[in-house]
Amino acid sequence: MTNDRSFLTRFAWLSIGAAIATIALKTTAYVVTGSVGLLSDALESFVNLVGAVLALAMLSVAARPEDDSHAYGHSKAEYFSSGVEGALIVLAAATIAFAAIPRLIEPRSLQQVNVGLSVTVVAALVNLLVALVLRRAGRRHQSITLEASSKHLLADVWTSVAVVAGVGAANLTGWQRLDPLVALAVATHIVWTGIRIVLQSIRGLMDSALPAHEQEALRAVLTRYREQGAQYHALRTRQAGAQRFVSVHVLVPGSWTVQRGHELLEKMESELRATLPHTSVLTHLESLDDPASWEDIALERDDAS
């Protein structure tokens, strides 16, 4: 099995292409109609483009193998990308509000609404298709960057849906304030999406433990080895992008030979990796008969007498 993830950059290129296409479409819709809602939609696509370019850069960095300066690889780079992506979503919401409030105070009539809405619908469909592709790839390959990009694009789709509804209703009823009101409602909705993405990135950068169900799967494997005379403690887990890291102390009878203990650890590590793919497992062999083995549990061992 290879850990080469450089192929994921093609999804970032797909996102960049979609952003460029939707910028062109939505800008055309704004120019034709003069709708502040459609202008806000176009501005969000500019944010999508910046996010997609950043995702491409970070996926390229994350795909690099480990080196002397980064012994654990570069997979955490994805958290920086997704964090900025979330921040950009919040920025897009602020931009929408900034553009909508003046139009709420001084509403203006719209032009060629049907043409503008048709173009916007096409742009929304492009974003929806790409978002679904990115979400599937992100979940399959456990890429937080692609998942963040898909959420950003889906937020953009909902923006377009709401804007189309608002602009259409404003055109039918003649109440032009519906245009900026819908834009403000969408801004409120998508800001929460951005905040969630940022919080998810922070958890990753803080080396949060693996989810409870994954830890239980690891413990189930380790517990089965008690029948062979082995016990364990100091199980620690964390995740960086798609890569999981697991360390554990394994205690065996002091009468065992080094070779027997080594063979047990090799078998144990192999089973743990099979249980959770993309997992780096580090085991530490200790003696059940040595009292010091039971004191070696804390992350920073206190050797003071």
Please state the domain extents for the chain: 6-205, 212-295
- Structure-block tokens of residue 183: 């834009």
**Which pLDDT band holds residue 252 (cuts at 50, 70, 90)?**
very high
Cα 197 from Cα 205, distance rounded (Å): 13
Q: Which CATH number fits domain 212-295: 3.30.56.10, 3.40.50.300, 3.40.50.11540, 3.30.70.1350?
A: 3.30.70.1350
Residue type, 10: R
> What pLDDT is attached to residue 2?
46
Q: Is the separation of the CB atoms in 134 and 11 below 8 Å?
A: yes
Report which of 30, 22, 70 is spatially closest to residue 48, judged by C-alpha positions.
22
CATH fold for the domain made of 6-205:
Alpha-lytic protease prodomain-like (1.20.1510)
Average pLDDT of the residues in 250-257: 91
Residues in the chain: 305
> What pLDDT is attached to residue 244?
83
Cα 207 from Cα 205, distance rounded (Å): 5
Average of per-residue pLDDT values in the chain: 81
Helix axes 36-62, 77-105, angle to 10 degrees: 170
Q: Is the separation of the CB atoms in 228 and 264 below 8 Å?
A: yes
Average pLDDT of the residues in 113-125: 89
Average pLDDT of the residues in 93-107: 80
pLDDT tops 90 at residue 140: no
183-239, pLDDT tens digit by residue? 787 778 778 777 877 777 777 676 677 888 999 999 999 999 988 889 999 899 987
User: Which of the residue ranges 50-59, 151-160, 253-262 would you say has the lowest mean pLDDT?
Assistant: 50-59
- Structure-block tokens of residue 98: 């900034």
> What pLDDT is attached to residue 196?
78
45-68, pLDDT tens digit by residue? 777 777 777 777 766 776 677 777
**Which pLDDT band holds residue 260 (cuts at 50, 70, 90)?**
very high
Higher pLDDT pick, 180 / 287: 287
**Which pLDDT band holds residue 1 (cuts at 50, 70, 90)?**
very low
Q: Which helix (H) or strand (E) holds 269?
A: helix 258-275
77-97, pLDDT tens digit by residue? 667 767 777 787 788 788 778
